[in-house]
Amino acid sequence: MKWYEIEGEMGGIVVSTRVRLARNLSDYPFPAKLSSKDENEILEKVSSFLTDGGDDGEAYTLTDLSTTDAVTAGALVEKHIISPRMASKRGNRGVVLSDDESVSIMINEEDHLRIQVLGSGFCLDECLEKANRVDDMLDGEFTYAWSERLGYLTRCPSNLGTGLRASVMLHLPAHTESGEISMLMSSLGRLGFTVRGIYGEGTAAIGSYYQISNQFTFGSDEQDTIDRLKKVVKSTVEHEQELRDRYRDRHKNAAEDKAWRAYGLLKYARKLSSAEATSLLGDVRRGVVAGDLEDVSIPLLNALLWQVQPNQVKVISGDYHMDSEERDIARAEMVRESF
Amino acid sequence: MKWYEIEGEMGGIVVSTRVRLARNLSDYPFPAKLSSKDENEILEKVSSFLTDGGDDGEAYTLTDLSTTDAVTAGALVEKHIISPRMASKRGNRGVVLSDDESVSIMINEEDHLRIQVLGSGFCLDECLEKANRVDDMLDGEFTYAWSERLGYLTRCPSNLGTGLRASVMLHLPAHTESGEISMLMSSLGRLGFTVRGIYGEGTAAIGSYYQISNQFTFGSDEQDTIDRLKKVVKSTVEHEQELRDRYRDRHKNAAEDKAWRAYGLLKYARKLSSAEATSLLGDVRRGVVAGDLEDVSIPLLNALLWQVQPNQVKVISGDYHMDSEERDIARAEMVRESF
C-alpha cells in the first residue's frame, strides 16, 4: 500500500505532509564542485547502503536518474518524490525509494543527500520522526558536513542550520473563492512561512491546492520549526472550515450541485485535461468533506490527484508517446474506471 | 401511453410533427364579435359532442381554460397542446384533449375551433389523416364557415383557404454550430416556409430545436402543402446528418465527450435551469443518434423535453408556488430519477 492510499488526520482538507532534510557528506566536495567520479561514488555508496537494507526495516529501490527517460522522471516529480531540478539536471544522480513511496532519498540533487518523507493528511511529527530515523541511520554510516556554529552545511545558505523544509499540502477552495488566500499568503509570509499553489500559479492555483512551508532553517531547531508550522496549519484548516460552513449556510444547494456536477463529469467525460481533472477532483473532495458524496473516499481522490497529471497518465497507460488529445482520452478513461 | 412516448420515424432528429386546422362555425359571429353567451354555447356544444364520444373511438376530456390556473395552462402551452394566446386570453374557452394527448381541439381561440394533431417523429401524413378524421366528424355535426372562392373562412387572412398549419420540430445542432441555420431560415423563407427556434429566440435557439412550418394556406390544397413540407424536412434532416457526420469525422472524441458530459450532468446535478436542461438533453440526443449512449431512449428524451419546462415542473411536483431555485432543484431531482 502506498502512503497516499491511507486517509490521514484532517485528511479532507490536508492532502499530505512532507519533511525534507538537506545533508552533505564531509568526505566529498560540495555538489557544484563534484567530479563525475565522486558523484558516482556517492550515488553508489549511499544507494547500496540503503538498498542492501540499512537498519530501519524499509525495503529501498534505486532509480538511477541518469539513465531514466523524461516521462518516468516527470512522473516522479508529479508524485513529489523528486524535485523538478532533480529531473532536469545532468550527471550521476538517483533516488532511493521505499516500497510505500513515503521515504525517498535524492542523491546528488542540490545537496549530496535530500532525505524526504511524505505522509497522508496532517502528520508533521510522524514525518519528522521517520526522517530523523533515516537521517540517524545514514549518519551512522557516513560523515555529514556539519559545524558547531552553522549546523548542517548546505550548498544554498537558505538551507543552512537544520536543513529542514517541512511542508503541508492543503485544499483551500473557500480561501480561494473568498479572496482570503492573498491575505493568508502575506500574513504567513510575515511569520516566516511560504504559501504557494501546487498546480498553476499563485492565487489562481488550479483546484485550490496550496503548500505551506517554513522559510527559515537557521536560528531555531527542528521541533520548534515543526511546532510553529503545526499551529499555522491548524488555524488555516479551522478558518477554511469556517469559510466553507459560512458559504454552505447561505448556498447549500449550489455547494451540493457543484460537487455532484464535478462527480458526474469525472464519471462520464471522454476527454479530461489535467487542469480540469485536478479542479474537478477538488470540487468532489470538498463535497466529500461536506458529507454530500458518501461513496467517494479521500484516498481515492489522493491517488487520482497524482494519477491525472500528464506524465503519470503516460506511465500508467504504458504509452510514452501520446499526444495531448490521446492523453486527455486516456486520463478520462482512467478516472471513469476509478469511480 | 402518450404520443411522445413512442419513437417515431427519423425520431432522432425529428422530435415531433404537428398539423393544425383552423375552423369556424357558420351559425355564430366570428370570435372577435362573439358574445359571452355565444362563446359559452360553442364551448358547450362542441366539447359535449366530443367528450360524449364523437365517433372516432378516442376518449376526450375537456379542460375549461376560463377556470384553469395559470400554471396548469402554462404547462399545456409547454406541451404544445394549447397556444400561448389561448392560455393568456380571457373569456369562455377550453381545450378538448384525447387520452394520448395527440389530438386537441381548442375552442374559442383565435378561431372557433383549432383542431390539432401531434405525433412523434416525422409523420405528416398520419397527422393530416387524423386531423381530417376529426374535421370530418365535426363537419358532420356542425356547419363550417366556408366559401367556394376562399375555402375555410378564418379570423386572420393568413389562415384562409385550407386553414392548415403543418409544422415539424427538428433538432438541428449541427446547423446551429456551423452557422448554416441562418441560410436554412432564409432559403426556406423564400420557399414559403418559416423556421423558428422553439426555445429561446432565432439563431441562438436553446438546445437547437427548430420548427419548420408552412407560411401559406391559400392557393394550394392540404396534400400539396404537406408534400412540399415533407420534401423540405427530408432534405433538412439529410443535411443535418451530413453536417454531423462531417464534424464527427474530424472530432469524434470531442463529440462523444460532449454527449457523455451532458449525460453526467443530467444524472448528477442538484440544480438545473430549464435552459440548461433543454440544452443538455439536446447534447444527449445527438449522442444517442450517433450511437454513443445506448441506454438512453428517444421517447425518454422527448418526455423530458416537456417535463423540464418551468410550469411542467410545478405541475409534476404538485407545488405551484415554487420559486426559481426550488424549481431548479425539483427539476434536477426529476431528471436524475429519469436516468
Instruction: Using the CB atoms, write b or e for B202-220: b if 16+ within 10 Å.
Output: ebebbbbbbbbbbebbeeb
Q: Nearest chain B Cα to A255, which residue?
A: B270
**B256 interface with A at CB cutoff 8 Å:** yes
Contact between A267 and B264 using a beta-carbon 8 Å cutoff: yes
- The chain A residue lying nearest B267, using CA atoms, is A264
Q: Could you tell me the pLDDT band of residue A204, with boundaries at 50, 70 and 90?
A: low
Helix-strand-coil split of chain A, %, nearest 5: 55, 15, 30
* pTM of the predicted protein model: 0.90
Q: Is the pLDDT of residue A275 over 90?
A: yes
Contact of B269 with chain A, judged by CB distance below 8 Å, is answered with yes
The confidence band for A69, taking pLDDT boundaries of 50, 70 and 90, is very high
C-alpha distance from A329 to closest chain B C-alpha (Å)? 8
**Minimal CA separation from A268 to chain B, in Å:** 5
Q: What's the CA gap between B74 and B56, in Å, rounded?
A: 28
Nearest by CB to residue B268, choosing from A254, A263, A269, is: A263
Closest partner residue to B270 (CB to CB) among A253, A269, A329 is A253
Smallest CA–CA distance from A326 into chain B, residue:
B253
Chain B neighbors of A256, CB-CB under 8 A: 270
- The grid coordinates listed for B219 are 392557393
List B19's β-bridge partners, or say none. Answer: B117, B166
- Select from B138, B83, B72 the least CA-distant residue to B106: B83
From A254-263, A283-292, B214-223, B327-336, the region with the lowest mean pLDDT: B214-223
Cβ neighbours of B269 (radius 10 Å): 26
- The pLDDT of residue B203 is 53
All structural domains of chain A:
3-241 (3.30.590.10), 251-338 (no CATH)
Instruction: Quote the mean pLDDT of chain B.
Output: 93
Phi, psi of A96, deg, nearest 5: -105, 130
What secondary structure does DSSP assign to A23-54, as a single string? E-BTTS--GGG--HHHHHHHHHHHHHHHHTT-
The pLDDT value recorded for residue A327 is: 96
- Among A57-61, B14-18, B204-208, which is the least confidently predicted range? B204-208
Q: What is the pLDDT of residue A226?
A: 95
Classify A167 as helix, strand or coil. strand
Does residue A265 belong to the interface with chain B, where contact is any CB pair within 8 Å? Answer: yes
Q: Which chain B residues touch A332 with a CB distance below 8 Å?
A: 257
**DSSP character at residue B82:** S
Q: CA A263, CA A85: separation in Å to the nearest integer?
A: 35
Burial label for B250, CB within 10 Å (0-12, 13-18, 19+), is exposed
Mutual angle of helices B222-268 and B324-338, in 10-degree steps: 90
Q: Model confidence over B32-90: pLDDT tens digits?
A: 788 999 999 999 999 999 998 666 778 899 999 999 999 999 999 999 999 998 998 88
pLDDT above 80: residue A306 = yes
Q: Is B239 within 8 Å of chain A by CB?
A: no
Give the model confidence (pLDDT) of A88-138 as tens digits: 888 899 999 999 999 999 999 999 999 999 999 999 999 999 999 999 999
Of A256, A264, A271, Cβ closest to residue B257: A271
Mutating which of B251, B258, B261, B273 best tests the A interface, going by the most A Cβ atoms within 10 A? B261
Place of cell 503519470: A312
Residues A104, A96 contacting (CB under 8 angstroms): yes
Q: How far apart are CA A65 and CA A88, in angstroms?
A: 9
The predicted pLDDT at position A108 comes to 94
Q: How far is B258 from chain A (nearest CA, A)?
A: 8
Would the pLDDT of A202 be above 80? no
Amino acid B145: pLDDT: 94
Best CA proximity match to A15, nearest among A316, A238, A237, A179: A237
Nearest to A257 among B256, B266, B270 (CB): B270
Residues facing A161 on adjacent strands: A152
pLDDT in tens, B238-264: 999 999 999 999 999 999 999 999 999
Amino acid at A119: G
Q: Which of B254, B260, B265 sits opposite A261 (nearest CB)?
A: B265
For residue B337, count CB atoms less than 10 angstroms from its CB and return exposed for 0-12, middle for 13-18, buried for 19 or more.
exposed
Q: How far apart are CA A199 and CA B118, in angstroms?
A: 54
Is the pLDDT assigned to residue A57 strictly greater than 80? no
Give me the pLDDT at residue B32, please: 79
Q: Is the dihedral of CA A98, A101, A105, A106 positive or negative?
A: positive
pLDDT digits (tens, 9 = 90+) for A152-175: 999 988 898 999 999 999 999 999
Q: Is B257 in Cβ contact with A332 (below 8 Å)?
A: yes
Q: In chain A, which residues have their Cβ closer than 8 Å to the Cβ of B257?
A: 269-271, 332
Instruction: Choose from A57-61, A67-71, A282-286 the range with maximum mean pLDDT.
Output: A282-286
Print burial letters for A4-23: b (CB count within 10 Å at least 16), e (below 16).
bebbbebbbbbbbbbbbbbb
d(C-alpha A151, C-alpha A161), whole Å: 4
Q: Mind telling me how many Å the CA of A265 is from chain B's nearest CA?
A: 5
Quick one: which H or E segment has residue A183? helix A180-190
- Range in A204-213, A307-316, B120-129, B271-280 the model is least confident about: A204-213
